[in-house]
Chain A
Amino acid sequence: MTAAMASPATDRAARFWTASLDDRGWPAWLLAIGLATFYLLLYYTEVFTRLLPRSLDGKADKWTLYGILYTLAIVWGGVNFIRRNGRSRYQVIRTGVVILVQVVVALAIPTLMRFLGGKEFYFSYLWPLKIEYFYPQVIFSYPLPFVFYSFLGSLLVVPLLAVLFGKRFYCSWVCGCGGLANTFGDRWRHLSLKTRASWRFETVSIHSVLVLAVATTVIVVVNWGIGQSHPGLAAFAFRVQRFYGFVIGFILSGLAGVALYPLLGTRIWCRFFCPMAALLGLIQKLGRYRIATQGELCIACGNCSKYCEMGIDVRSYAIANESFTRASCVGCGICAHVCPRGVLKLELIKTTLS
């Protein structure tokens, strides 16, 4: 109740800071530049390597440090999110799982594997998101169970779960990209681009990256088979791999993905460029997941569309009383949570074909 007794001056000051940080004011720009600088330093310099104690030489590197920072951001953001949204069971459970997966599967297990002298493996990242896990030279360097995990995971289990539960099981419950977006990045979700032009761009860009990911994988696989006797192909394959790793892996996923949080919202990578999102988005349209609407209760307030991090105009479906499954919908559930009239509900329909 002390907040209610705040003088107008402090109230304005507090609101200015958060208002500016959350609505593209100068603090937001500063943070975006800071994040971009962080990523550039991380990729191009050894500034962070020098921060590690010498004794860890070989067992940990700057990427381990990055993983720890990333995890801390998710834990800190996640705890804050749960405190603000505690009355929603779905949000609390979902965020709890996201934190758990990040800490255990994306940080502790891979780090432990390195400490025990082996190579790290990220069980929560699969092809095409982690494109290397279909590169023969990478995946075959792991014991056979890992190979099965990668292939069966990407080609069977993940698509099956997307049909049964929607791509949300991955994008909002497991993946660290989504994990950071919905925890640390939650305060910027309303900045997602809402225009028709951005939707048009999205349909082209994300499927282009999927095509590129598949093509790159095919080239790498073919090269692994016959590259020895085809130096031209080998050189080409090398350049394609490097191009994909740099443009998709660094620029779009890392740099643009996170640095743009305070300016364009948190799911830039997921919505415009992630090949896994593209694939699962197409799959979920054939599956059970949808957002049910009861349009007769809709008052067109716009909270759902405002807070959709993927820039989906949820309100237009609610007004029209149309239940829907959008390929880009990651099932975070926030639209249903902020709706003041109980118009929306994430659900699994009984039949598989809508």
Chain B
Amino acid sequence: MNHVIIGNGIAGVSAAQAIRRRDDTAAITLIGDESGYFFSRTALMWVFMGRLERRDLEPYERHYWRENRFDVVHDQVVTIDPVKRELTLRSGSTRGYDRLLLATGSEASRYDWPGRELQGVCTFTTLGDLDRLEKYWRSGVRRAVVVGGGLIGIELVECFHHRGCRVQFLVREPWYFKQALSRQEASMVHDRIVGRGCEVFYNEEISRFDGDHGRLNSLVTRSGRELSCDVAGIAVGVHPRIGLARRTGLECNRGIIVDRSFRTSIPEILAAGDCAEISDSGRSSGLVQSLWYTAVKQGLAAGRAMSGEEIVFDPGIPYNAAQFFGLDWLTVGWMNDRKPDLTESAWLDRDAGRSIRIAHDDRGRVQGFSMLGGRYQAAVLQRWIEESRPVDHVMGRLDQEAGFDEEFTPAAAIRRIQ
């Protein structure tokens, strides 16, 4: 069996590993266009901050691929011929496949702002973006603006601040990361940002970029605010990378449409990870998950499907984790924004920088957690949701059973605020 995987990111690599675990003899090829070897995209920010080198980004030593007989190809797939089951690569070579997995991931979104092609306007998801930012810094950056109040946005703020320039942060919503954080939680993040000497502006959207000789020197917001800047980091979202899938004639919506077994509209072609849209037939909008964690799950499941296993993918209880300028955040389950019939209770210890927000149903059974400023075991929080535990049960056992802070961390003096 000849498996070919387009995309050597975490979804593609997880699938490859899942296949190899089940089939020691199968041929497995990984084709990546961005880098020859799988690297941790989430770690780009630390390379920019000088805490990691590019080589450190690779989770596996180079001999790992050879030893596990993964054929690693650094090239770009230009066309897929589903009839001949053949790929044509940019280098001109062709590859046959028995089963094909598209794991092409996401790409950064941009909108049609005037001036967006000016030198200095940059997104931050790829190695190429990292190269571009390094190039800008070599010619000197004194002022940077970050656009987009989400997870990549806050990382850019931290990155730019670390490299030593004035940083101004533009957030479209009334508070940071409104899609996931409460106003209270966002205010703690706000304090962090401001405490480090950066500025944040809320309810602001980009109107246009202005420059001189092709080089960015300022931007203007919809409200008329003008900010001078040498670099503008754009972090307004990502969308599935589906150009190749579209050209091949695969059914696509926002992502490549797949069923719960990751099958696309063409036989023997699967898709998984950020690029996939899991759709139960007949629905207008399927599930697109653009996180590292979900890409791992989908990749592993898709690999098992490619090995011939009957898979009905269950996303499970959702979770995500991030760090806002050093402030730990973990969310598990569903909060009020996802399930409006849930009630939320909140606890706060402002001095310790710790906030707990729990969503529960009308019988007091926990359905979701948003934990800021402490470390917890996601698996325990998930278990409590699965077991429909009441809020009191959870709060009485939170530190002992779910706590994951380092030793000697003082207990937080949390008080109920909601």
Partner of A303, one of B52, B61, B137, B166: B52
Q: Most B CB atoms within 10 A — which of A7, A294, A346?
A: A294
Partner of B10, one of A300, A333, A346: A300
* A174 → chain B closest CB, angstroms: 17
Question: Contact at B410–A89, with CB atoms within 8 Å?
Answer: yes
Q: Indicate if A156 sits at the interface (CB-CB under 8 A).
A: no
A90 CA to B161 CA, complexed, in Å: 27
CB neighbours of B161 from chain A (8 A) = 4
**Nearest A residue (CB) for B56:** A302
Q: Indicate if A326 sits at the interface (CB-CB under 8 A).
A: no
Question: Contact at A297–B10, with CB atoms within 8 Å?
Answer: no
CB neighbours of B407 from chain A (8 A) = 89-90, 346-347
Q: Which 7 A-B pairs have the closest CB atoms?
A: A342-B375, A301-B43, A8-B140, A299-B42, A300-B40, A1-B197, A89-B408
Question: Contact at A345–B406, with CB atoms within 8 Å?
Answer: yes
Question: Contact at A319–B406, with CB atoms within 8 Å?
Answer: no
Q: Which residues of B contact A (CB under 8 A)?
A: 10, 40, 42-43, 46, 50-52, 56-59, 61, 63, 137, 140-142, 161, 163-167, 197, 292-293, 319, 321-323, 326, 328, 330, 375-379, 404-410
* Count, A-B residue pairs, CB within 8 A: 103
* B377 → chain A closest CB, angstroms: 6
Question: Contact at A319–B321, with CB atoms within 8 Å?
Answer: no
Question: Contact at A90–B408, with CB atoms within 8 Å?
Answer: yes
Question: Contact at A4–B164, with CB atoms within 8 Å?
Answer: yes
Contact A302 B379, CB 8 Å, known A11-B164, A297-B321, A346-B407: no
* B35 → chain A closest CB, angstroms: 14
Q: What 1/0 flags go to A1-16 for Cβ under 8 Å of B?
A: 1011111100100010
Partner of B50, one of A15, A89, A315: A15
A24 CA to B209 CA, complexed, in Å: 42
CB neighbours of A7 from chain B (8 A) = 140
Q: What 1/0 flags go to A138-170 for Cβ under 8 Å of B?
A: 000000000000000000000000000000000
Partner of A337, one of B42, B56, B406: B406
9 cross-chain CB contacts under 8 A: A7-B140, A89-B408, A90-B409, A195-B61, A296-B379, A299-B43, A301-B57, A303-B51, A306-B56
Question: Contact at A3–B328, with CB atoms within 8 Å?
Answer: no
What bracket does the count of chain A residues touching chain B fall in?
Answer: 35 or more
A4-B161, A89-B406, A301-B42 given. 8 additional CB < 8 A pairs? A8-B140, A19-B50, A196-B61, A299-B42, A299-B292, A301-B57, A302-B56, A336-B406
Contact A303 B46, CB 8 Å, known A87-B326, A315-B59: yes
* A332 → chain B closest CB, angstroms: 12
Question: Contact at A4–B40, with CB atoms within 8 Å?
Answer: no
A1 CA to B165 CA, complexed, in Å: 9
Contact A302 B43, CB 8 Å, known A294-B379, A294-B404: yes
Question: Contact at B378–A294, with CB atoms within 8 Å?
Answer: yes
Question: Contact at B375–A345, with CB atoms within 8 Å?
Answer: yes
Question: Contact at B43–A294, with CB atoms within 8 Å?
Answer: no
A22 CA to B165 CA, complexed, in Å: 23
Q: Indicate if A45 sits at the interface (CB-CB under 8 A).
A: no
Q: Indicate if A93 sits at the interface (CB-CB under 8 A).
A: yes
Q: Indicate if A340 sits at the interface (CB-CB under 8 A).
A: yes
A29 CA to B328 CA, complexed, in Å: 38
CB neighbours of A1 from chain B (8 A) = 197
Q: Indicate if A242 sits at the interface (CB-CB under 8 A).
A: no
Q: Indicate if A198 sits at the interface (CB-CB under 8 A).
A: no
Residues of chain A from 295 to 354 with CB closer than 8 A to chain B in the complex: 296-297, 299-303, 305-306, 315-316, 319, 333, 336-337, 340-342, 345-347
